[in-house]
Amino acid sequence: MTALFATVFTSCSHNSTQNLEWIPFDWTTATFSGKVIEKATINIPVTIDELPYKFSMQFDLGAVTTVFYGNSLNPFLEKYPSLSNKLDMNKKFWIQSQENPMFRNVGLLLGSVVFSDIDVGLFTNFGTEIYLDSINSESEIHIGTIGSDLVQNSILIIDFKLNRLAIVNTLPTEYQNVSFEDFKIDNGRIKIPFQINEMVEYLMFDTGASIFSLVTSKLNALEIGGNEIVDSMMVPSWGELIPFCGLETVVPIVFGDKKMEKSIVYYVEDTSWDDLYSNFYKSEDIWGITGNAFFFNDIIIIDYKNNRFGVK
């Protein structure tokens, strides 16, 4: 899997939400198998160093390394030696079983929040190709993924109701009475405890998993779901189309004191893909994956300093 690296967060932390430096985000809409998903991914407007372009990056806590997409970034590397000179071919990270180089000392501006002198991976041969004669467009250019490395050793607050997030060093006063559940963390990925059919099961929390509230192996899904498939779609994942099926859950699904009403549990129908996913769940010691969908009407607090997850 990909390697973590240190980041320098230069924004000041505060103790009240009036002074929080909120980073705005947008939802992307996607259509899979004819079904419109209004909240498919979280995108954050980004400035890279001082390049005069409108960029965006997906906010994906399932990714452990922040990366630029090579196909999309190439024309900017040609035009701006100040950025291309930061690429260190000797510093490597792994993604999708491939070794790739990294940039050193990049500056990212997310909203009004500055991240300075950070390392960012270059995911070569990935992303939409962009050409020099089109990069002066006023339209936003999707350039990469913001991973969990950017928020390690901090407290992340995601306000799904107002489409904004904040990264702080100390917990603001008004969130200190929130009920928290301890989580596990491995290689930057967090695993939060759910009660599923009155058993404690750990789910990886992934902000890149907005499409499904709950996804697991076919075996697990059949144990907690009804007999009838209520949803199915082909979903892209890092360039591959994968078939998913959904069953309505027939057992209680609970996080802390929050009960998830009318949940759908998804699994991969194709046997070879299900084997691959099941092996991933087993290697990560998790029951499955959850994402944003359970918390669309909430504010969540991910306290990486104390390994705890709260819902307000």
Q: Is the pLDDT of residue 108 over 90?
A: yes
What is the spatial distance between Cα 210 and Cα 206, in angstroms, rounded to a whole number?
8
Q: Which among 152, 148, 154 has a CA at the least distance from the CA of 168? A: 154
Q: What amino acid occupies position 74?
A: N
Q: Which among 243, 263, 266 has a CA at the least distance from the CA of 252? A: 263
CATH class of the domain at 180-311: mainly beta
What confidence tens digit (pLDDT) does each residue in 230-284 have? 999 888 776 678 889 999 999 999 999 899 887 899 999 888 888 888 998 999 9
Q: Which among 289, 236, 294, 241 has a CA at the least distance from the CA of 267? A: 289
What confidence tens digit (pLDDT) does each residue in 194-227 have? 999 889 999 999 998 888 899 999 999 999 999 9
109: how many CB neighbours lie within 10 A of its CB? Answer: 17
Q: Which among 153, 170, 162 has a CA at the least distance from the CA of 111? A: 162
Q: Which among 121, 108, 110 has a CA at the least distance from the CA of 70? A: 121
What is the spatial distance between Cα 125 and Cα 239, in angstroms, rounded to a whole number?
11
**Spans of all domains in the chain:** 8-158+164-168, 180-311
Q: Which among 41, 56, 65, 29 has a CA at the least distance from the CA of 207? A: 41
What confidence tens digit (pLDDT) does each residue in 18-59 have? 478 999 999 999 888 888 889 989 999 999 998 999 999 999
Whole-prediction pTM value?
0.88
Q: Which two tokens stand for residue 151?
A: 């928020």
CATH class of the domain at 8-158+164-168: mainly beta
Do the domains spanning 8-158+164-168 and 180-311 agree at the CATH topology level? yes
What is the spatial distance between Cα 135 and Cα 25, in angstroms, rounded to a whole number?
22
HEC profile of 75-136: HHHHHCHHHHCCEEEEEEEEECCEEEEEEEEEEEEECCEEEEEEEEEEECCCCCCCCHHHCC
Q: Which among 2, 6, 5, 189 has a CA at the least distance from the CA of 99? A: 2
Q: What amino acid occupies position 134?
A: S
